[in-house]
Amino acid sequence: MTEHEAPNLFQVAVDFGSSLVPGSGAALMQLEPQQDNRDGFAIRCMTERLLRRAERQRILLVFSDGEPSAANYNDVGILDTYEAVMRARRLGIEVISIFLASGGTVHETERAAMRNMYGRSSIVVPRVEELTEQLVPILRKLLLKSIF
């Protein structure tokens, strides 16, 4: 597969400027699965956007359904994602991975892949219904860190 057959696309569903507009969240529900996911590419794109923001604390939440997978990317996807995460962190951005497992089953290989890419800042959510209870404590800790 060539770069022209499977190009890198980065689609913004809801941008920062319109994220607080009532009803803007509905755009998320309109997203459709695409062919490839180059996590490192997406993290680099968002790192650049976050660096242009004036806020002192920057947090990047990366929702994932598994290892990065794309044409000509499978062998280097984990390393590329790891490098993008490390770069963002060196630039002062908190990067947290949220792995949304399908069907409630999480294999140890999936947990290991998330740890390899994101280190300890990775949570595994076996069922989407558990997202709030897993994510809220992390966000609370980050917000308290910014206050004190």
Structure confidence at residue 92 (pLDDT):
95
The confidence score (pLDDT) of residue 3 equals: 54
Whole domain around residue 107: which residue ranges?
39-147
Number of domains in the chain: 1
Instruction: Please check whether residue 19 lies inside any domain of the structure.
Output: no
Residue 48 Cα to chain centre, angstroms: 14
Question: What CATH number corresponds to the domain at position 51?
Answer: 3.40.50.410
Output phi, psi for 53, to 5 deg.
-85, 150
Report yes or no on 139 lying in a domain. yes
The whole-angstrom separation of Cα 56 and Cα 108 is: 36
Cα 30 from Cα 115, distance rounded (Å): 30
Query: In the prediction, which pLDDT does 114 show?
Result: 87
- Cross-strand partners of 21: none
What residues in the chain have per-residue pLDDT under 50? Answer: none
- Look at residue 18 and tell me if it is in a domain: no
CA separation for the pair 100, 33 (Å, rounded): 15
Tell me if 23 is assigned to some domain: no
Nearest to 102 by CA among 81, 127, 119, 78: 127
pLDDT of residue 5: 55
Specify the pTM: 0.83
